[in-house]
Structure 1
Amino acid sequence: MVAGLLLAGGAGRRMGTPKALVRLHGEPLVVRAVRTLLAGGCSPVTVVLGARAEDVTDALLRAGLGPEVGAVVAEDWDEGMGASLRRGLDALTHLPGLGAALVHLVDLPGVTAEAVRRTTDGAGSASLRRAAYDGTPAHPVLLGRDHWSGVVGRAAGDSGARDYLAGHPALELVECGDVAAPDDVDTPEQLRRLAGI
């Protein structure tokens, strides 16, 4: 069983608001990302919150995503993505039966359910994978349970799992360039381009 782990705690300083709350085609990015993980076969899905956690929680509740979606707060979210990743993996260790976690970022609306399915297909506790786009590693990232403690031990600042993944002999790249796009949305201008405004 593969859990979805959505990192959605940042303040979105360049965007001017937390990116989890930014709307694309009328839907908050956090809701869009959770729907993508669910449609790609991840269950349960845990959302890691930080900035304006209550507002993001409200957006998730209003979307009625179901009982398999939960949220935790990374109190030290402002330290960077590493803090959110540590908090999320810690929350998942208490759930039985999980072989792996698929880590996704809230500001990647071009990632599709098909990319999620490809990256998780046949995954087990020893799996370590990254989606790739024309050969370039990006997100989402699949972490088999055997790797969680190693990732937590090295997750700091905004590097997330990058240091753990770099040069790891078990790492597999899963090509997703034909079904998804890895571009993040950091500014209002990027959002307007994506929305076709």
Structure 2
Amino acid sequence: MASRMGVSPAGLLLAAGEGSRLGRPKALLELDGERLVDRGVRTLRDGGCSPVLVVAGAAPLEVIGAVVVPNPDWHTGMGSSLRAGLAALPPGCPAVVVALVDQPLVGPEAVRRLIEAYEAGARVAVATYEGRRRNPVLIAAEHVEAVAEAARGDAGARVFLREHPELVTPVPCADVAAPDDIDIPADLEAFNRRHAR
């Protein structure tokens, strides 16, 4: 899927955390025999993003089909990972879809819907579930710098979204995705039980 300019939005997967409550980096966890980082990259790519960037930190990553962006400041929180990823976007990138590595039930259709909203004129599109804003989030190029400046600690893009509600287009995704995340070992066990092939 290409934008109105003929260039696809990029995909940005935040995968730098150490998974302190889980006991290991979430990016390396496997669900249905696939690492979460690979699953996230596939979701963004199949949803229409190109290129796809992965921000790495606690664990060094090699990912087929993605550009790995190291974040030496990963321990300071998600904000630094978002800033590192946005700074690495290629010149001329019209928009970026930001996703989190620990939400494996967000699939390509949710990404496609955000890109379709962008194609229809949205400048910031946010996936919603039962009316609640979650991830992924699409940011048009003209807002990337402001989003990066607002990203601090673990807030990511939330501060920018809260300060600029007039820019946000909600995109309902509850029928095709779920924002459930994996934070503790019991979450992973539950996911594997529910979604084992």
TM-score (norm 2): 0.90
For 1:140 and 1:134, how far apart are their aligned partners in 2?
Answer: 15
| 1:149-188 matches, cutoff 5 A | 149-168=145-164, 169-188=166-185
Paired AA for residue 195 in structure 1:
N
Aligned mate of 1:47, from 39, 47, 54: 54
Structure 1 segments unaligned to the other structure (5+ residues): none
Aligned to 1:33: 40
SS in 2 for 1:75: coil
Q: Could you tell me how far 1:40 is from its partner in structure 2?
A: 0.3
| 1:3-42 matches, cutoff 5 A | 3-42=10-49
| 1:99-138 matches, cutoff 5 A | 99-121=94-116, 123=118, 127-138=123-134
Structure 2 segments unaligned to the other structure (5+ residues): 1-7
- 1:110 and 1:183 in contact (8 A); partners too: yes
For 1:122 and 1:132, how far apart are their aligned partners in 2?
Answer: 13
Q: Could you tell me how far 1:167 is from its partner in structure 2?
A: 4.5
SS in 1 for 2:153: coil
Paired AA for residue 139 in structure 1:
N
For 1:195 and 1:81, how far apart are their aligned partners in 2?
Answer: 26
Paired AA for residue 171 in structure 1:
V
Q: Percent identity?
A: 49
After superposition, the C-alpha distances for 1:49-76 in whole angstroms (9 at most, x for unaligned) are: 00021xx22xx2xxxx33xx21110110
Aligned to 1:147: 143
- 1:4 and 1:42 in contact (8 A); partners too: yes
After superposition, the C-alpha distances for 1:50-104 in whole angstroms (9 at most, x for unaligned) are: 0021xx22xx2xxxx33xx211101101000000000000001xx1331100000
For 2:154 and 2:50, how far apart are their aligned partners in 1?
Answer: 26
Alignment root-mean-square deviation, CA = 1.4
TM-score (norm 1): 0.90
Aligned length: 185
After superposition, the C-alpha distances for 1:139-197 in whole angstroms (9 at most, x for unaligned) are: 00011111111111110000001000014111010000000001111111011111117
